[in-house]
Amino acid sequence: MSGFAIIRSLLPYLWPKGERGLRVRVVVAVLLLFVAKLTTSYLPILYKHAIDALSLKNPSVLIVPIALIIAYGMTRVMALLFTELRDTVFARVQQHVIRVVGVKVFDHLHHLSLRFHLSRQTGGVNRSIERGTRAIDTLLSYLLFSLVPTLFEIGLVTIILWKMFNGW
């Protein structure tokens, strides 16, 4: 089974049929992820404006750099808040994936022959099941919250730099 085939076989767990609440959670988690990435991408620009305001010749206008530094700190906190909210919202989906996969594997084990069960060590099979369900959860989380957002952030930073330096 190729990598893309594995990913395609796991996507139904991420977008389960008949589970509207879980689908909403996935959408909200992805939206929170993109808001966090937008916020994180804006931080260097805000920091630039704060430094530029500090280097002004007029020291009487100190309120602007202080306000920008406070805005920078609040933006960092908001980025962390959105990330934590995303993890909280997605936790129910992760638990659902682990539960569904575990039940399917358990059902499959019950349909295996007695010879299989007598020739295997039960603890080893149990450990393999646990590792497998955790691996599926980790893979889905990695795809949704690491790979896709990194590509989005690269594109976003490219657009920001393109705009700041006037293209060519």
- pLDDT reading at 74 higher than 80: yes
The predicted model gives 39-45 an average pLDDT of 85
In the DSSP assignment, the letter for residue 166 is T
pLDDT tier, 59 (very low <50, low <70, confident <90, very high otherwise): low
3-164 architecture in CATH?
Up-down Bundle (1.20)
Domain boundaries, the chain: 3-164
Quote the pTM value.
0.75
Q: Which of 7-16, 59-68, 106-115, 136-145 has maximum average pLDDT?
A: 106-115
Contacts for 65 with CB less than 8 Å, ≥ 6 apart:
50, 53, 54, 56
* Residue 12 to residue 85: CA distance in whole angstroms: 23
Percent of the chain with pLDDT over 90: 11
Taking only Cα atoms into account, the Rg of the chain, rounded to an integer number of angstroms, comes to 24
Largest CA distance in the chain: 85
Q: Which of 44-48, 51-55, 86-90, 131-135 has maximum average pLDDT?
A: 86-90
- pLDDT reading at 3 higher than 90: no
Q: What pLDDT was estimated at residue 60?
A: 62
* Residue 134 to residue 140: CA distance in whole angstroms: 10
Q: What pLDDT was estimated at residue 25?
A: 92
Contact 76, 44 (CB under 8 A): no
Query: Among 79-88, 102-111, 138-147, which is the least confidently predicted range?
Result: 138-147
The predicted model gives 134-138 an average pLDDT of 82
The predicted model gives 154-168 an average pLDDT of 83
Q: What pLDDT was estimated at residue 168?
A: 62
- pLDDT reading at 80 higher than 80: yes
Contact 77, 112 (CB under 8 A): no
- pLDDT reading at 145 higher than 70: yes
Contacts for 68 with CB less than 8 Å, ≥ 6 apart:
46, 49, 50, 53
